[in-house]
Structure 1
């Protein structure tokens, strides 16, 4: 048949399902059309009939038939990212905390969205070509941080590694530790919050809320590192689940909103006086994730952003305290916090 292509599976596509391979390389091909082509034997793997859920391996050959006028399909074309000056590239590379053949870990600045959206022109995903180094392709996002949250963020240098790392986040093999400055001090000072979270829509926009009936399981460990009376506290947090805005919602639930988080704390999320910035004070301090090569773990910490450094100095918090960077002992029984504290 004229127009048939024989495409060799690359290392980046090793061990993914055949339907996902087509979605990655021929995104306009519908699932229904793919199934029809497979049933007719027009799509084959190493010359044999195949199924959509069949996993493919590096070096196998996929027979791709011509799609003709029925779809007008063609392989996905990569979009060009925004042009960056040498100075901008140097700045972005200064965010790198760790780099090997598979992974890059950066310290994302506060105020930078992870991905684009309506009205968003500058975002991390559009800047990642600055981190290609010797590679042909830019690294891929494996997870996200809120726009105003700073700190460690993991990037994969290939599609195959991205799939492995994404799985680590879903299976909770990856562990993350955050630092926050809260308005007032949690009571109890150390504990855990097990409160389900649901998405709520209103004319004011979208927000996450505690909802025992409709919410999804959300669990957070926390401990108070230092505090100033009952005015403010330096709190370490480890999310055991990955719900949107989970830490922000759980801190507000404790009636100790994160400094600068007006969305969930309202006016109570802002300390009075000029010594503390009104920016969000939530920082992804540390990440620990199994290495994609199967040997050991990648363990990276990120220094605080400038506005949080100034706040720590204002309250005379000691960032050198070893316990502040310790992950939680998940086998240890800790008091669970289920009710608001007046």
Structure 2
């Protein structure tokens, strides 16, 4: 059963687990589980996803409960007025804080019939490093392996934006099979006993019908809490 973190007459938000597609997609034709269908069955009514969340990403996923509500609330995502906070576990010691303004081209997706874009689209992400860890194991090229717990605040909504921006600054997210480092991902999965994309949408803020701020939050899943507990003993004060 999906964990519901907020529900009203118009909206419902869940804490989407990693590995669950939002809806049926040519990206993974063999997949049989979808958040839309599971939530529909759970609530006994149709639901309308208001935004996307990558299959391997966990966290806040918001649905409208009517087509009219979907039309009203989806505009906030289209206009980039929804405030979003993600947590990511990244390779190396990321900058303490950084404003990333780096345009992204539309990625090719042959399964969905999408061609790569020629012109970069505006893409902006603010990041803040919350903790640094130095593990005394050669999981990468060095005798010790460094990690950062990074707060990511995307100000635009491009596909894979956070993943691509962290790759751009040479601090890819651990477990990112597309934009990360395969050997490091596999070594980390074996060392920590868990493998996934370590990216979680922790909070979203939008406006309700009355213009009041609506804060939707999703706690870290158990596997994310566990890996941070394992890393706790290797935390260092700064870079």
TM-score range, shorter chain: 0.7 to 0.9
| 1:275 aligned partner | 192
* Cα shift readout 1:25-64 (whole Å, capped 9, x = no counterpart): xxxxxxxxxxxxxxxxxxxxxxxxxxxxxxxxxxxxxxxx
Structure 1 pair 264–96 and aligned structure 2 pair: CA distance change class (3 A): same
Residue 167 in 1 paired to residue 84 in 2? no
Q: Partner of 2:180: helix, strand, or coil?
A: helix
Pick from 158, 161, 165 the counterpart of residue 250 of structure 1: 165
Task: Measure the CA separation in 2 of the matches of 1:174 and 1:155.
Answer: 14
Structure 1 pair 276–102 and aligned structure 2 pair: CA distance change class (3 A): same
Structure 1 pair 207–248 and aligned structure 2 pair: CA distance change class (3 A): farther
Q: Partner of 2:191: helix, strand, or coil?
A: coil
| 1:98 aligned partner | 6
**Structure-to-structure mapping, 1:42-57, within 5 angstroms:** none
Unaligned ranges ≥5, structure 2? 135-144, 234-239
Instruction: Tell which deviates more after alignment, 266-275 or 217-226.
Output: 266-275
Structure 1 pair 296–131 and aligned structure 2 pair: CA distance change class (3 A): farther
Task: Measure the CA separation in 1 of the matches of 2:149 and 2:193.
Answer: 13
TM superposition shift of 1:262: 2.1
Structure 1 pair 123–196 and aligned structure 2 pair: CA distance change class (3 A): same
TM-score normalised according to structure 1 size: 0.59
* Cα shift readout 1:288-331 (whole Å, capped 9, x = no counterpart): 0101x2241210211111221111101118xxxxxxxxxxxxxx
Task: Measure the CA separation in 2 of the matches of 1:202 and 1:233.
Answer: 30
Residue 308 in 1 paired to residue 213 in 2? no
Residue 286 in 1 paired to residue 191 in 2? no
| 2:106 aligned partner | 199
Residue 232 in 1 paired to residue 137 in 2? no
Preserved contact between residue 36 and residue 47 of structure 2 (Cα < 8 Å): no
Task: Measure the CA separation in 1 of the matches of 2:222 and 2:14.
Answer: 16
TM superposition shift of 1:177: 0.3
Structure 1 pair 305–159 and aligned structure 2 pair: CA distance change class (3 A): same
| 1:110 aligned partner | 18
Preserved contact between residue 176 and residue 286 of structure 1 (Cα < 8 Å): yes
Preserved contact between residue 276 and residue 310 of structure 1 (Cα < 8 Å): no
Query: With CA pairs under 8 Å and 6+ residues apart, which has the higher RCO, 1 or 2?
Result: 2
- How many residues get paired? 218
TM-score normalised according to structure 2 size: 0.83
Preserved contact between residue 114 and residue 145 of structure 1 (Cα < 8 Å): yes
Instruction: Tell which deviates more after alignment, 124-133 or 140-149.
Output: 124-133
TM superposition shift of 1:96: 0.3
Residue 189 in 1 paired to residue 100 in 2? no
Unaligned ranges ≥5, structure 1? 1-90, 318-342
Preserved contact between residue 112 and residue 124 of structure 1 (Cα < 8 Å): yes
Task: Measure the CA separation in 1 of the matches of 2:65 and 2:46.
Answer: 7
Residue 124 in 1 paired to residue 35 in 2? yes
Task: Measure the CA separation in 2 of the matches of 1:185 and 1:207.
Answer: 35
For the pair shown, which has the larger CA radius of gyration, 1 or 2? 1
Task: Measure the CA separation in 2 of the matches of 1:124 and 1:197.
Answer: 28
| 1:298 aligned partner | 214
Structure 1 pair 198–312 and aligned structure 2 pair: CA distance change class (3 A): same
Task: Measure the CA separation in 2 of the matches of 1:132 and 1:108.
Answer: 15
**Structure-to-structure mapping, 1:319-330, within 5 angstroms:** none
Give the CA RMSD over aligned residues: 2.6
